[in-house]
Amino acid sequence: MYDFLTTSPWPDYELIDCGNFQKLERFGKYVLARPEPQAIWDPHLPLKEWEKADAAFARAAGSTEKGQWRLKPAMPEQWLIAYERPDGLKLKFRLGLSSFKHVGLFPEQDPNWQFIYNQTKRRRAAQPRVLNLFAYTGAATLAARAAGADVTHLDSVKQVNFWARDNMEASQLDGVRWLVEDAMKYVRREVKRGSKYQGLILDPPAYGRGPNGEKWQLEDELNELLKLSQQLLDPADHFFVVNLYSLGFSALILDNLVTEIFTGEKSVRELGEIYLHDAGQRKLPLGTFCRFAN
């Protein structure tokens, strides 16, 4: 089933406008302007509205990613926002202005956070084991933990794990297992140990480095990662989510891989794109996903 997922109304987040390779967003009471390579159309709002942003990211000369933020006087470098859903999921996130345009949260993942929360609660295991790989600042980790899971959160960047802990404490949760590890090395060991998980969450980057300089390239590693993931899933009781944000990486690639690797899976598979819509109702594509649950 091919589908398009988007964020449901959320008081502390809004995509106000997008276009001219930029997006204008509100996080809590602060409005940010930052690059977005897929927003190739014209903005909906006039320039004067964009100039009201509390912070705007400017790329450094010669760099496609690094840069610096231009802040208005009242703009803090860190702040908290709330996240609350009708199904009972309540979290808080500490946001911050990084030198890579990111703020510590990907709001378009809201549909997956709700899926993770609800599917964790539906597991037959008394305390489902959930593994979150490439886990960043932990929104998916906390969604699973809030539903009662025994969660292992793995990211190769120590500082990012500290950030995720801050989000856990702000959300009044505890008990997450934190790992600073190379994801491929860890899942290979887990397969050898015969470990099983009732939930697997994968959000791999297009490229990156492990804590000891291990190279990650999505197209080189994804096939093996999914094969290992299939071996880690509890065959009788599981959910699975994989999300990709890589320009030009079609959801059909995920469909082919999952069809060939998860051959015994009888549950309905959701597959498609994740997007955000702005006030002008333009749809900003922000990744592909595949997920299922038995």
What does the pLDDT look like over 231-273, one tens digit per residue?
999 999 999 999 998 777 889 999 999 999 999 888 999 999 9
| CA distances in angstroms from 65 to 169, 237, 283, listed in the order given | 30, 40, 23
Q: Domain spans of the chain?
A: 7-78, 105-293
- What is the separation of C-alpha 201 from the centre of its chain, rounded to a whole number of angstroms? 9
Q: Any idea which fold 105-293 has?
A: Rossmann fold (3.40.50)
Q: Shortest CA distance to 263 belongs to which of 230, 223, 228?
A: 230
- pTM over 0.85? The answer is yes
The proportion of the chain whose per-residue pLDDT surpasses 90, expressed as a percent, equals: 86
pLDDT digits (tens, 9 = 90+) for 265-290: 889 999 999 999 999 889 999 999 99
Fold of 7-78: Immunoglobulin-like (2.60.40)
Q: What's the distance, CA 285 to chain centroid?
A: 14
Distance CA 236, CA 153 (A): 23
pLDDT at 60: 86
